[in-house]
Amino acid sequence: MPKSPAATSTRRASRPAKKTTVRKKSTVKAFPSYQAAIRCLYDRVDVERTRAVRLTPDLFKLDRMRALMNRLGNPQESLKFVHVGGTKGKGSVAAMTASSLEACGCAVGVYTSPHLVDIRERMTINGQMIPTSVFTELMGRCSIADEANTKRHGQATFFEMTTAMALCWFAEQAVDVAIMEVGLGGRLDATNVIKPEVTAITSISYDHTQLLGNTLPLIATEKAGIFKPGVPALTIQQEPEVIEALKAAAEAVGAPLQVIGKDIDFSYRFEATPRIGPHTCVCLSTEHSNFEHVNVPLRGEHQALNCGLALAILDKLRSRGFEISESPIIEGLTHTTLPGRMDMAWNDPRILLDGAHNGASLQALIRSIGAHIPYDSMVMIFGCSEDKDVDDLLKRVSLGADKIIFTRAKGAGRAMDPHELQRRFAELSVKMTQVAETLPDAINLAGRAVGRDDLICITGSFYLVGEAKKHLNDLRSKKKR
């Protein structure tokens, strides 16, 4: 409020003794725009885009994340969480769990990575991305908190900052539950500052072996680092050595672990009906819930296990006091969407997008296409990161595609040279290949090579899929003008 002239003249007449005014340091760094906040965020180390050989051990430590959250007032302590880790299927489990909870009337925060087109996809509440103004303000607040910690802990990474921002936003919006997807590993992941209501581990396979270990038990142990004392833990049936590693980790911290299909009654079957077509349905029963013949909302037989895991998570939440019931849970499942996974993004020609980026997920993709999408010939546009098991990926490509166009995502620092991909593929297969220097060029080449009943599949990297989604969205917008 402006000071009145009378008040001003009175103070001047009395001439009080001069005092030293201490200005309180702002807790928010003011960015002039959303774009400025984004630039500041991308100036930080981004583990997702950095070559593995350049990653140092000090990038992965929870002390820095804990210190950052402490500066921010530990907003995570006011929230209830579901924590989802694993190699593949995390996004599917998070999406199905969130959709069901929303149908039950819950306010649901979801934190996932990576994003496809818009960075704000990483943090949503009931499907709505964080507003740009809130993103900008939170980036400023978290930047100030991080600056106070930099001398002792080093600068927070890109992922640590987005995690902190999501936790602050979820707390301020007082969501009923926040579903947090682990970024990398688990034990030292930035999301591991939370104490969840339930933890879940999806399918574990070889990925990020330079950082997590080169055996499945080592990888499983790192993933199981999210287990907490007394917090129910869930996983699906998988390799015996993986289950043994998860059990050992659970016992070490006192987390009750259950395996779906072994400790929890679960079954699934693939079928085709005139009304729905080819699909998978699941059954899961516990003392609290009885889900019978539930249609899996996402395509692919592998999604049955992810759906079972989501239902088991919901069952655990029911047992821990969440007022959610079976009917809206099942209804909510039917509304699940997951961009970038078995995503038919264009119809003429048909272009399918899927972020499969390791051997197991690529194999699942090829099986899913065979089960759900009829086609005469498939042209695959493929690009991957150089730190993947490239030969294994190329073997899967050779089994699924009739023709391959190798390319790479724009601005992806870890992207493999497409000419090198072509050279290594030639050692495995005699199938026809081409190289396109850019993704738009690859799409144009593929478009000229396919007929009406053929399929173009873009896969190998979420960055490649994200660029494809943006490119196709831009083309669609131009066609409407």
Whether residue 181 sits in one domain with residue 76: yes
What are the tokens at 177?
Answer: 């539950």
Do residues 64 and 119 both lie within one domain? yes
Whether 378 and 446 map to the same domain: the answer is yes
Instruction: Say whether both 294 and 357 belong to one domain.
Output: no
Distance, in Å, from the CA atom of 148 to the CA atom of 70, rounded to the nearest integer, reads: 11
Are both 182 and 103 inside the same structural domain? yes
- For 234, 315, 358, the CA distances from 257, given in Å and listed in that order, are 6, 14, 27
Same domain? For 297 and 363 the reply is no
Q: How far apart are CA 65 and CA 164, in angstroms?
A: 8
CATH number of 76's domain? 3.40.1190.10
Q: Is 359 helix (H, G, I), strand (E, B) or coil?
A: helix
Average pLDDT over residues 146-160: 94
Confidence (pLDDT) at 27 = 62
Q: How many Cα neighbours within 13 Å face the side chain of 347?
A: 1
Most confidently predicted of 13-22, 54-63, 65-74, 403-412:
65-74
pLDDT at 9: 33
Query: Is residue 377 assigned to a domain?
Result: yes
Is residue 8 assigned to a domain?
no
Cα within 13 Å of Cα(209), Cβ side: 12
Distance CA 406, CA 417 (A): 9
For range 3-16, the mean pLDDT:
34
**Which amino acid, one-letter code, is at 9?**
S
Same domain, yes or no: 326 and 348: no
Q: Does some domain include residue 26?
A: no
Question: Confidence class of residue 30 from pLDDT cuts 50, 70 and 90?
Answer: confident
Q: Is the pLDDT of residue 16 over 60?
A: no
Q: How many CB atoms lie within 10 A of CB 339?
A: 17
- Residue entry with tokens 């609290």: 288
> Mean pLDDT across the stretch 443-456?
95
Q: Would you give the end-to-end CA distance of the chain in angstroms?
A: 49
Tokens of 469: 């989604």
| Contact predicate 95/84, CB 8 Å | no
- Looking at residue 388, its pLDDT comes to 85
pLDDT category of residue 104 using cuts at 50, 70 and 90: very high
Whether omega before 114 lies within 30 degrees of 0, making that bond cis, reads yes
Instruction: Report whether pLDDT(353) > 60.
Output: yes
25 within domain boundaries: no
Under 8 Å between Cβ of 53 and 165: no
Q: Which domain holds residue 47?
A: 34-333
Could you tell me if residue 218 is inside a domain? Answer: yes
pLDDT score at 214: 86
Encoded amino acid at 293, one letter: H
CATH code at position 435: 3.90.190.20
Structure token digits, residue 281: 């349905």
304 versus 46: the higher-pLDDT residue is: 304
pLDDT at 275: 81
* pTM above threshold 0.85: yes
Residue 159 maps to a domain: yes
Q: Which amino acid is it at 307?
A: C
Mean pLDDT of 41-50: 81
Instruction: Report which of residues 302 and 285 the model is more confident about.
Output: 285
CB 144 within 8 Å of CB 27:
yes
How many structural domains are present in the chain?
2
320 and 351 co-located in one domain:
no
Q: How many CA atoms lie within 13 A of 31 on its CB side?
A: 22
pLDDT for 465: 96
Tokens 């009943």 belong to: 453
145 and 279 in a common domain: yes
Asked if 131 and 264 sit in the same domain, the reply is yes
Tell me whether residue 272 is in a domain.
Answer: yes
Confidence label for 405 from pLDDT (cuts 50, 70 and 90): very high
Tell me: do 195 and 84 sit in the same domain: yes
Q: What's the rounded Cα separation, in Å, for the pair 419 and 434?
A: 9
Share of the chain above pLDDT 90, in %: 79
Cβ neighbour number for residue 334 with a 10 Å cutoff: 12
Q: In whole angstroms, how far apart are CA 419 and each of 136, 227, 351, 392, 409?
A: 40, 42, 23, 17, 14
- Choose between 440 and 26: higher pLDDT: 440
The answer on 373 and 316 residing in a single domain is: no
> How many angstroms from the chain centroid is the CA of residue 185?
13
Q: Pick the residue with more confidence: 259 or 15?
A: 259
Using alpha carbons only, give the angle 235, 239, 240 rounded to the nearest 5 degrees: 95
Of 258, 356, 269, nearest in space to 309 by CA: 258
Q: Is pLDDT of 129 > 70?
A: yes
Using the predicted structure, report yes or no on whether residue 1 has a pLDDT greater than 60.
no
Last residue of a domain, one of 278, 302, 333: 333
Angle between helices 62-71 and 158-172 (to 10 degrees): 40
**Considering 280, 307, 333, which residue would you say is the last residue of a domain?**
333
Q: Tens digits of per-residue pLDDT, 187-221? A: 999 999 999 999 999 999 887 777 788 899 999 99
Average pLDDT score over residue span 341-352 = 94
Structural domain ending residue among the three candidates 278, 303, 333? 333
Rounded to 10°, the helix 390-400/418-426 angle is 70
Per-residue pLDDT, averaged over 425-436, amounts to 95
Would you state the pLDDT for residue 2?
Answer: 35
Residue 178 counted as domain residue: yes
